[in-house]
Amino acid sequence: MTAKRAHYLGAEQAPLHGNGINPHRWVCSDELDYCLRSIAKHAPDVRRIWIVTDGQIPSLSGLPAAFSSKISIVDHRDIFAGYESALPTFNSLSIETFLWRIPDLAEHFVYFNDDVFLTSRAEFTDFFTETGPVMRGEWVDFSHLPECEDSRVEAALLNHYNQIVSGNLAGFSADHMFESAHVIHPMQRSVMAKLFADYEEHFVRNSTFRFRSTAQFLPQSLHNHYCIKNGLGRIHEARDYVHISADASVQWTEDAIASFLSSIQRADIKFICINDLPQIERRFPKARRWIEAAIG
């Protein structure tokens, strides 16, 4: 995998964004194990779990047998069927563009990155209403962000540009759009299928970026903007999640990180995201011990 990635990195013509090619995106730090164990503990009623990989088979040995039986491995080729020229890809946004094409995927599904964990009991109503998804995030004004090429965008702002493209595509302007939080993403397959039918050219182009770019849209953000525009689902007002970003953590002291991490033990927190565990560990050496306690 490393050699394949290096080959395509060398073939890129335009300067790439540092955050899009940061090695932390591909390092295994046991996040998937924490994620799956947290689901097994706090969402035992989940019917099926799909893990999308590039020919890799993760170890499931630490999970209960009954839970492991719910897990299926899906290869990139399965969801990129018909668009294989975009492979291989090393870009989560490109993969997310076609997640909804997982064979036999349910109409209502919840997308987890492997660095997202549950910390308390989660029910169906935490994810969906009768009309659509429960969306987490906030209204923002991104109109002050200048247009610039990928390599000049600050790492912390890369996601902002992707959300701007998403909102614009759905008819929202940069000065008033919904910034989807980086936690769980409840989604509907039929919504993504309709968006693909309406914006097929944009979807296909989005899938062709092997490494992340400011020119891409964030599929889950496009999904949420469509739902908001059409009165589907609801925006969750209470803050029941914590996001510890890789960029922000280096600016904090160990005491500040420890205080922040311990705050999510409150009963009203259900979801956490830790972007770059090795980096967090350098600032907070007990991070893994804390995660073990948090997920139960």
Local structure of 286: helix, strand or coil = coil
Q: Where exactly are the structural domains of the chain?
A: 2-9+16-295
CATH topology of domain 2-9+16-295: Spore Coat Polysaccharide Biosynthesis Protein SpsA; Chain A (3.90.550)
If one compares 181 and 4, the residue with the highest pLDDT of the two is 181
b/e per residue 202-228 (b: at least 16 CB within 10 A): bbbbbbbbbbbbbebbbbbbbbbbbbb
If one compares 137 and 244, the residue with the highest pLDDT of the two is 137
Give residue-wise pLDDT tens across range 68-98: 999 999 999 999 999 999 999 999 999 999 9
Residue 17 has pLDDT above 60, yes or no: no
Residues 187-216: what's their mean pLDDT? 96
Q: Considering the entire predicted model, what is its pTM?
A: 0.90
Chain centroid to CA 121:
20
Give residue-wise pLDDT tens across range 225-254: 999 999 999 999 999 998 887 666 666 677
Long-range contacts of residues 284-287, Cβ cutoff 8 Å, at least 24 apart? 284/249, 284/254, 284/257, 284/258, 286/258, 287/261
Lowest mean pLDDT of 193-207, 216-230, 260-274, name the range: 260-274
- Maximum Cα–Cα distance across the chain: 51
Q: What pLDDT does residue 5 have?
A: 65
Residues 170-193: what's their mean pLDDT? 97
Distances, alpha carbon 65 to alpha carbons 31, 68, 69, in Å: 20, 5, 6
